[in-house]
Amino acid sequence: MNDFFKISRTLSSKFQNEINISIVFNYLRENGPISRTKISKGLGLSAPSVSKAINNLERKGYILEIGQEKTSVGVRPKLLRIDNKGYVIGVDLGKRKIKIALVNLYDGFIFKYDGFEVPSNIEVDDKKITKDMISLLKSVITRAENKKLVERGNLKAICFAVSAPVSRKTKKIVDIPLYGNYRKIDFVDVFGKVFDVPIIVENDVNCSAFGEKKVINDKDLSDMIFIEISRGIGSGIILNGRIFKGSYGTSGEIGNSIVNTSNLDFKFRNKGFLEKYASVEGMKKNAIRGITNGKKSLITDLAGGDLKKIETRDVFLAAIKKDKFAKKIVDSAVDLLSIVILNLILIINPQLVVIGGDICKLPESQKIFLDPIIRKIKNTFTFDVPELRFSQTNEDAGVFGASLIAIEHLILEEFPFKINF
């Protein structure tokens, strides 16, 4: 997905009219319902230029009149908004179960569905799971059509959120440790042929970051970092309101961060260094490893004496009760993540850092996990630091974000010009 073209002034003749149409469309999409007069004032475009652009959009069926603006005197201006013309599908493959969302082009949820559980790593049969996903998507579309939630044949695009970096050049998965055989699937080709719509493949944390920004709904928020801590660790970076991917599409892969010189030779296999020790899954495995090697801990009792039943929740519960071994595991994760977040803040200088994922659902995670990170960061910097907080969304952020990215892809194709204030 390319960025919006950013322009400081309009041009002339036919091209100027195309630019004006695009600018008006994007302004109306972000600020509607709104009157023509307020569009003109907001954009600094002449009333005739705005009317010409709106008339063009109306002829193409992109705009709806939804009533009149309330005024105390004079003629009440007509209120305009973008029509819900068609819908897109977001598919989140980064969770234990496939999540699907149908969203109209005005960013409104139509239908959500949790699909089958995804087998991990080498258990993934690429041919079988491709067949299963196609069948599931067709079933969800048919269900939505039968319920009259969408018009038949009005699907416009599908975006897949995957737990992996995606090549900007080939649009294919670069590497995906959790679901190894996914990288054999050419999503754009296979699903494009079946559904005959544009197919977008995006990193799932980028999708979550995009969805989180939408939910926050702050027009002044242009730069933020979303860090997901679950089975793995990744980050989505938003700069100037857009996802920042880097030259090769691997920006934000902080799970592979090395935080000290003694670990420079760490070999990345199924997990990066940071996620091996600081992810939700990593903390659980560190607990099992330590107890297996003779460490005494309340964690064992909380798991009923069965090491196979130990979960990260038990580690946090034990840490709350001042269990030394459990506290050491959590404190170590806090230290490692503090270093990485500190460096991210120094490099990106965002307005906001949001932490999401399974970590948010653990007992007292604010008190024993997030608050210590905030203190360490504030104690390190002598200048202002961004707000750091847990995600405001639930686990639907990824699938919602994927849907929004599909919408952005469509809009950028037809309306690439936008004025950023």
Q: Is the pLDDT of residue 1 over 70?
A: no
For residue 191, give Cα distances in angstroms to 54, 104, 130, 152, 185. Answer: 35, 20, 9, 18, 10
Mean pLDDT computed over 100-126: 76
Whether this prediction's pTM lies above 0.95 is answered by no
The mean per-residue pLDDT over the stretch 9-27 comes to 80
Sheet with 97-104, strands from edge to edge, namely 109-117, 97-104, 87-92, 155-162, 199-203
390-418: average pLDDT: 87
- Only one residue has tokens 């149409």, namely 21
For the chain, give the percent of residues with pLDDT over 90: 54
Please check the confidence at residue 124 and state whether its pLDDT lies above 80. no
In which residue are the tokens 């649009």 written?
171
In whole angstroms, give the CA distance from residue 191 to residue 83: 27
Mapped onto helix, strand or coil, the DSSP state of residue 227 is strand
Nearest of 282, 276, 226, 271 to residue 251 by alpha carbon:
226
Q: Which of 271, 236, 226, 278 is nearest to 120 (CA)?
A: 271
Comparison of pLDDT for 175 and 360, the residue scoring more = 360
Give the pLDDT confidence score for residue 403 in this predicted structure: 94
Span 254-297, pLDDT tens digits? 998 888 777 777 666 556 889 989 999 999 999 999 999 999 99
Separation between Cα atoms, residue 203 and residue 210, nearest integer Å: 11
**Residue among 340, 339, 337 nearest 359 (CA):** 337
- Between CA 221 and CA 218 the distance in angstroms is 5
What is the percent of the chain where pLDDT is above 70? Answer: 89
Strand partners, 117: 97
Q: pLDDT digits over 138-189, tens only? A: 999 999 999 999 989 999 999 999 887 787 777 777 666 555 566 678 899 9
The per-residue pLDDT for range 58-85, each reduced to its tens digit, is 888 888 888 777 766 667 788 998 887 7
Asked whether residue 11 carries a pLDDT value surpassing 70, the answer given is no
pLDDT at residue 379, as a whole number: 92
Question: What is the pLDDT of the chain when averaged over all its residues?
Answer: 87
Return d(Cα 301, Cα 282) in angstroms, integer: 20
Q: How far apart are CA 287 and CA 311, in angstroms?
A: 9
**332: phi then psi, degrees, rounded to nearest 5:** -65, -45
